[in-house]
Chains A and B, each alone.
Chain A
Amino acid sequence: MSDPTSGSLVTTSPGEQPGLVAEAAPAPGAPPQQRDKPRGLLGDAWHDLRRKPIFWIAATFIVLFLLMAIVPQLFTSVDPEHDSNLSRSLVGPGSTGWFGYDLQGQDIYARTIYGARASIIVAVVATLGTVLFGSLVGVIAGFWGGWLDALLSRLADVFFGIPFVLGAIVILFTFNTSNSGRSTVRITTLVIIALVTLTWPVSMRIMRSSVLATKQADYIVAARALGASNTRIIFKHLIPNCLAPVLVYATILVGAFIGAEATLSFLGVGLQSPVISWGVIINESQNYIRVAPYWLLFPAAFLVTAVLSFVMLGEAVREALDPKLR
């Protein structure tokens, strides 16, 4: 310890630490602890997000739509299914029915509100399925590589090659026959499965490429040198560092799936009538566009707003997570 440099470094004063510059004397008490709170990459992203008006607008709409999906009773007291009255068939928007009435005399406002649930359930569950399944396959392919990677990648290519709408029509047309009953759960599940089947390759590719990039990182080698098992390396080191791109993709995907569900329902192969969704309402209205444009307009506006909100949220999250854009 005769060496002056080694003496000075062992007692690195807290004032020299980054992030503590403003803090003259950090006491071990509670207030400095809070200011001293560490921020990971997600913490930084959140810090960034909070300053973005786009994020707040999108988040407000999304919360609103989620509320609609969970407790539609908050927004309307009308029963969307059994409150039909033919005497008000195709009556336009007015003081009683804000969005007008459809052919059966059902309140379009109530139906649009209730339609959020099916649309959002399909979108969220399908996104979860896509991301979980795709990421799992991506991690396996990227981490182990070799022939397994080649096999899984080619398999993904096959599914990626199927045109989305065509593929969904084929799948749903084959399994969603009219004589198979019209159970809500069954139809919803089928649509979700169709969506997941046709989109998992994208998240698989995203995950695989980030695993391939991260796998070579020095901290993975360091973990190996410590004797960490593959499971530990995958869950503790690989996945936390590969999650950001998939997370962004997932947010945008929710919006895309709301649109996709509406597309399939509009084409008559997705969700069907006892189920209320935006796509189903738009499908029902298609023959009366000129007589009752409001029937199409209002659910379509909700649909566009929801899709836009999720896409914008995804965009904001992407910018916040990408350090190069900071």
Chain B
Amino acid sequence: MTENILEVNDLVKYYPVTRGIVFKKTIGHVQAVDGVSFNLRKGETLGVVGESGCGKSTLARVLMSLEKPTRGSVKFNGQEIYGLGASGMRRLRRNIQLVMQDPYTSLNPRMTVGDLIGEPYEIHPDVAPKASRRQKVQELLEVVGLNPEHINRYPHQFSGGQRQRIGIARALALRPEIIVCDEPVSALDVSIQAQVMNLLEKLQNEFGLSYIFIAHDLSVVRHLSDRVAVMYLGKIVEIGSEDEIYERPTHPYTQALLSAVPVPDPSSRETKAIIRLTGDVPSPANPPSGCRFRTRCWKAQEICATEVPELTVREGSDHPSACHFAEKREIVATHEAGELTDLPTRTL
């Protein structure tokens, strides 16, 4: 279980900002993802959290090589994925699949469920012979908990949760090793979220999948993840096991995030210390020098403006954190949340 299936090293994605219509001039770059490194082990779930605009979805797209990264490398089973030829790319597509956020727009409204889930087999005809495809599609429908007789229906005849299951079935069709889930439950109702997450968990046990699970909901991520990476403005600020991040966070941003999680316990409201961040997230086109969080950080000092903090294990902590003054802080809220998340049905 410790074998790295995906190694991401210093991944960078900049989008050019141009001015002019005929003579385009690049006047800057939006630094959507800036130097992200992590490893994904086989069979593990890596949660990625962060607020909107911090580069989570861009990271997903770059990992799926839907967009070319500006720099950096991603190795799948030790093999570099950028610079693969067309046939290598096809083979890679079979191993990394994507579940998208919005189940209402990610399914082609003109195709039946059978066509949608069967499409991977048409694109990769060597995976399944033509005769067995219909049966395979029905099996997949059963795996994700849909009625196999609904193979001829159209997406608009299903509810949001059912559509997301169709999306998951499509991602499963090629039996991938990694599934990148780009906020797969944030468009769903709370009750349905739990169902879909439980389904994802069940599938992971059944097929030995590895997930990269992107979300902005901390409790959702905690429920599903073995390890968690916290992103801020295109960089990972803290990464560690679920317990390390939720119980012993050392980065001020993670601490602030966790302190904002509402606790369904009126008595703890008195004791709970909410860290209120001031100001807005700086523009990713013009991020602050040094530490990117320093403009909103209460610990910021001279060194934060001049020196970029490395994501390394620091003194008094057991996991990497990108802060010069990383230290544990008592976060009252998370103990309560921790107890709650132990019960899968009450995650939310």
User: Interface on A for B, CB 8 Å cutoff?
Assistant: 1, 3-6, 9-12, 14, 17-19, 26, 28, 36-41, 217-219, 221-229, 232, 236-237, 240-241
Q: Which residue in chain B gives the minimum CB-CB distance to A2? A: B344
Tell me if B66 and A221 are in contact (CB < 8 A). Answer: yes
A17-B147, A227-B93 known; A9+B159 contact, CB < 8 A: no
Asked if A40 meets B110 with Cβ closer than 8 Å, knowing A6-B199, A9-B195, A227-B90, the reply is yes
Asked if B37 lies at the interface with its beta carbon under 8 angstroms from chain A, I say no
Q: How far is the CA of A36 from the CA of B153 in the complex (A)?
A: 8
B269 on interface, CB distance cutoff 8 Å: no
- Interface-central residue, A3, A26, A229, by most chain B CB under 10 Å: A3
Answer whether residue B298 sits at the interface, using C-beta atoms and an 8 A cutoff: no
In the bound complex, what is the Cα–Cα distance between A229 and B124 (angstroms)?
Answer: 11
Does B98 sit at the interface, judged by CB under 8 A? yes
Complex Cα–Cα for A219 and B170 (A): 11
Would you give 22 A-B contacts (Cβ < 8 Å), ordered by A? A4-B345, A6-B199, A19-B157, A38-B112, A38-B152, A38-B154, A40-B109, A40-B154, A218-B101, A218-B102, A218-B106, A221-B61, A222-B100, A222-B106, A222-B107, A222-B167, A226-B93, A226-B123, A226-B174, A229-B123, A240-B110, A241-B109
Q: Are B105 and A38 in contact (CB under 8 A)?
A: no
Contact call A12/B97, Cβ cutoff below 8 A: no
Please list the 7 inter-chain residue pairs (A to B) with the smallest Cβ-Cβ separation, ordered nearest first: A227-B93, A6-B198, A218-B106, A218-B105, A240-B110, A225-B98, A10-B145
Closest to A10 in B: B145
Contact status of A9 and B199, CB under 8 A, knowing A39-B154, A222-B100, A227-B124: yes
Contact B150 A17 (CB under 8 A): yes
B120 touches A226 (CB 8 A): yes
Please report the C-alpha to C-alpha distance between residue A232 and residue B119 in the assembled complex, in whole angstroms: 10
Query: How many angstroms from the CA of A219 to the CA of B99 in the assembled complex?
Result: 11
User: Given A3-B345, A9-B195, A12-B146, A18–B157 Cβ distance below 8 Å?
Assistant: yes
Is the C-beta of B158 less than 8 angstroms from some C-beta in chain A?
yes
Complex CA distance for A240 and B154, rounded to whole angstroms? 14
Contacts known (A4-B345, A217-B105); A241 close to B110, Cβ less than 8 A: yes
Q: How far is the CB of A246 from chain B (nearest CB, A)?
A: 15
Given A18-B159, A224-B66, A3-B145 contact (CB < 8 Å): no
- B335, CB-defined interface residue at 8 Å: no
Q: Which residues of B, 159-203, contact A by the 8 Å Cβ criterion?
A: 159, 162, 167, 170, 174, 194-195, 198-199, 201-202
A28 neighbours in B (Cβ, 8 Å): 149
Pick the most buried of B100, B149, B194, B202: most chain A CB atoms within 10 A of its CB. B149
Nearest chain A CB to B134 CB, angstrom units: 15
Nearest-CB residue, chain B, relative to A229:
B123
Contact partners of A14 in chain B: CB under 8 A: 147, 149
List of B residues within 8 angstroms of A237 by Cβ: 108
Most buried by A among B98, B110, B157: B110
What's the nearest-Cβ distance from chain B to residue A28, in Å?
Answer: 7
Residue of B nearest to A223 (CB): B119
- Whether B64 pairs with A38 at a CB distance below 8 angstroms is no
* B303 part of interface (Cβ distance < 8 Å): no
B299 → chain A, closest Cβ, in Å?
A: 40
Tell me how far the C-beta of A81 lies from the nearest C-beta in chain B, rounded to whole angstroms: 48
A178 to chain B, nearest CB (A): 47
B residues near A17, Cβ cutoff 8 Å: 147, 150, 157-158, 162
Chain B residue with minimal CB distance to A43? B154
With A228-B123, A241-B108 as contacts: A9 and B198 at CB distance below 8 Å: yes
- B108 close to A9 (CB less than 8 A): no
Nearest residue (CB) in A for B91 is A227
